[in-house]
Every structure is written in C-alpha cells, then in structure tokens.
Amino acid sequence: MGIRSKLKKELMNLDALGLMTADDVRAYLNVHLKIARDKFSLISRFNTHHSQVQAGLPSTEKALKFERHRLFKDVLYPKTAVQKWLSQACQTCG
C-alpha cells in the first residue's frame, strides 16, 4: 500500500469504524484461505463485485454489503460483512 493510500486510510479512520478498503479485503482473503484455488476464485469474485459496485451496476454478491465514504466516495466493506460473505462462500467452495 502506497503512502497516499495509507494516509487516506488513516484520515478516514477505517480501523476504528470496522471498515475495510478493497485492498484490505483482498489481503484478508489471502490470509484466511488455505487452498490456492479457492483464494484465486474468491478474490476473482470479489474483484468482479467491486468493479460492478464502482460502476454503479448491480452485483451478484448480495451477501457482500458495502457503503460509500461520505467525503471520499470510496467503496468500503464492513469487516463483519466480509467475514459473513467469506463463510458463506467457503461453504459453496467445498
């Protein structure tokens, strides 16, 4: 993560609010998934979802809730929503 991203994240106070950026979600998935095939599949699904959300299109990942930062308009994900989505997605992964 670059210095600008890090400063912006600190300025938004995301950790205290329990929110994650898209990069945080990708890192979280990388750490919490053991099988490389599942990592690739879920990170790909997340990237597709994130791109759709940024473009204002409907997403197929209904369980993955998000919100927009009021000032910066970044798409942010509540950590609890990411954890819930991951547990549901892992059940379908096998």
Say what the alpha-carbon torsion angle 59, 72, 1, 14 is, to the nearest 10 degrees: -90
pLDDT tens-digit readout, 19-66: 999 999 999 999 988 777 788 889 999 999 999 999 999 998 999 999
pTM for the model:
0.82
With CA atoms as reference, report the closest residue to 42 among 91, 90, 76: 90
Tokens of 2: 């670059």
Q: Which residues contact 64 (CB under 8 A, 6 or more apart)?
A: 46, 49, 77, 81, 82, 85
